[in-house]
Amino acid sequence: MSERHETLAARIDERLGEQMQRVPSTCNELTYEVDKDHIHDVAAALRNEGDFGFEMLMDVCGVDYLNYGEDEWATSEATGTGFSRGVEREPVILDEADEFDPRRFAVVYHLLSLQHNIRLRLRVFTGTGNPPMIRSVVDIWNSANWFEREVFDLYGILFEGHPDLRRILTDYGFIGHPFRKDFPLMGNVEVHYDEAEGRVVYRPVSIEPRTLVPRVIRDDNRYAQELKDEKDG
């Protein structure tokens, strides 16, 4: 990290050290993890206080850490949850009594200070709540409006206090949230125009369930003739 980054980190630790914690990061960008109960206060301080001056919210994105770090790219046979999740139906919307892993869903904020020419990344985990929810920052940065709508649409994370939290990329009749790791790759419904009814209708996906087995090429056809000549010789 540069001297400017370390200076900013020292200011953050002194002013907001009890509300946010620095975590390892790459790309020469400071990253802090903030408790969901403190995100609004932290965002307001970073936006309004002169020592920080993060007047611009560049992006807000969601993250689903389900099965993060697990590797299931087996090639000898079909996998249990990896490839086959595209065709095997699983519940997209959990029962209200169910809880999420506290570190499954996260919201990441990318901030830019023009006056100090420096960036900052904040990560907030949504906890165990179902549906996942955190406080909106629209009243601090107006640009958060559509960013938060996108996170809600793709991940199902609710933003308390958002003035118009509705889908922004998928259709209003869409079922589920397509960027969740447990969302079936073939979807839940298909849309087409019904001439008899004279309107667009939703129907269950017509794809036949099947198990996908990854294809592994063990012999390269580019060398097929050479192998044939060796065998004949």
Residue 63 CA: distances (Å) to CA of 109, 157, 214, 225? 11, 10, 26, 49
pTM of the model: 0.76
Average pLDDT value over all residues in the chain: 82
Burial of 198 (0-12, 13-18, 19+ CB in 10 A): exposed
Q: What is the arithmetic mean of pLDDT over 81-102? A: 58
Q: By C-alpha distance, which of 69, 65, 47 is closest to 57?
A: 47
Contact 33, 20 (CB under 8 A): yes
Of 227 and 42, which is predicted with more confidence? Answer: 42
The boundaries of the domain holding residue 212 are 3-232
Position 88 pLDDT exceeds 50: no
21-42 average pLDDT score: 90
132 confidence band (pLDDT: 50, 70, 90): very high
CATH number of the domain that residue 96 is part of: 3.30.460.80
What pLDDT does residue 105 have?
Answer: 95
pLDDT tens digits, residue range 135-174? 999 999 999 999 999 999 999 999 999 999 999 998 877 8
Q: Residues 78, 72: contact at Cβ < 8 Å?
A: no
Beta carbons within 10 angstroms of residue 186's beta carbon = 15
Quote the CA–CA distance of 111 and 121 in Å, as a whole number.
6
pLDDT of residue 110: 96
Q: What are phi and psi of 31, to 5 degrees?
A: -130, 130
Q: How many domains does the chain have?
A: 1
